Amino acid sequence: MDRAAGERERYERDRSRMVEEQLRRRGVNDNRVLDALARVPRHLFVEEALRDRAYGDHPLPIGEQQTISQPYIVALMTSLLALTGPEKVLEIGTGSGYQTAVLARLARRVCSIERLPSLAMRARALLEELGYTNVWIRVANGALGWPDEAPFERILVAAGGPSVPPPLFEQLAEGGRMMLPIGDAASQTLTLVEKVAGAMRTTPYGDCMFVKLVGKYAWES
């Protein structure tokens, strides 16, 4: 077996272990989500020097003072979106593109916003290389959403803000679901937001810690 094949096998084993030990055992039971995380090569979304840690139960730095979320948080947020396949999803905070890839396996179309051009460029190139053809990425203030593509059946916000940005709730379709961290700069609560008869219904899902959502309707830079 050559070195490349050996590495592929090792990363596949690491992904399988991640799914069983970090996700399924902690209550993530959506088989579509578990399958997506078992297939997306997380190690390619981090720097080469960190690849041996890519499948650990922790976030990792990706440059520009940003992080790739720990696998459990990615799985939990994704499973709470309750994706069935035909949805158009808005993602706020492309980052490395890892969460984007997971969403792309589960939804019809993913529109992802990243405020940092260097991260957006890198994520776009990697996602194209991996063959994801249902992803669109733009550089913009995520808290303003993507009005031209609204409404969205699902929205996932991978950065913490003080409250639900009004433009994002406006762009959420009736009956839609949004996952986001809400709180102060030190800690947030992972929150499910649902639009029911035009009104906002929220459900908390525990403490979390994300980088800041920056800009209007969020934290000032």
| Alpha-carbon span 201 to 193, nearest angstrom | 6
Please tell me whether residue 155 adopts helix, strand or coil conformation: strand
C-alpha distance from residue 138 to each of 90, 117, 150 (Å): 11, 9, 14
- H or E stretch at 152: strand 152-157
The token pair at 82 is 């309750």
Percentages (nearest 5) of helix, strand, coil residues in the chain: 40, 30, 30
The token pair at 15 is 């992904």
Candidate list 69, 79, 96, 112, residue with the active-site label? 69
At position 33, the amino acid (one-letter code) is V
At position 52, the amino acid (one-letter code) is D
| Alpha-carbon span 58 to 40, nearest angstrom | 17
Tell me 23's DSSP state: I
> Does the annotation mark 16 as catalytic?
no
Residues tagged active-site = 69
